[in-house]
Amino acid sequence: FITDKTFNFISGELVIENEHGPISHSNLSSGEKQLLILFIETLLQQNKPFIYLTDEPELSLHIAWQRKIIPAIKQLNPNAQIIAATHSPEVASKYRNAIFDMEKLVHG
C-alpha cells in the first residue's frame, strides 16, 4: 500500500519514516491514516475471530488501495468477517456473490 514510508513500533511507540527520516503522523494523508488505523486494529485481533463493520471503507483511499483493502484485512486476519457498506465498485467487485442490497432486503 504505502511504499514511500516505513512504520515500526519501537519501545511501544509508532515510528514513521520516509527517505528523509522520521515524520509525524499528522503529516500522513487521510488515506494513509485510515489504512494505519484499520491495519493496526486488525493486527490487534491476533487472528481471533471478529466481525469488522465498516461504512464506506474506500473514503480517502486511492482507487488501487480500494481494490486491495478487503483482501488485505483477510490476509492479516483470515478469521475476520467483514461487513462493509460501500458505494465503490472497486471494493465490492471481487465479492459479487456476497453483496446484499439493503433496500431490497428491507422493502422486498
Q: In the prediction, which pLDDT does 2 show?
A: 87
Element (H, E) at 30: helix 30-44
Q: Could you report the per-residue pLDDT of 52-106, keeping only the tens digit for each? A: 999 999 999 999 999 999 999 999 999 999 999 999 999 998 888 888 888 888 9
pLDDT tens-place string over residues 4-58: 999 999 998 999 999 999 999 999 999 999 999 999 999 999 999 999 999 999 9
Query: Residue 99: its pLDDT value, please?
Result: 87
Closest CA to 43 of 80, 81, 82: 80
What pLDDT is attached to residue 29?
93
Separation of first and last alpha carbons in the chain = 39
Single pTM value for the model: 0.79
3-state secondary structure of 59: coil
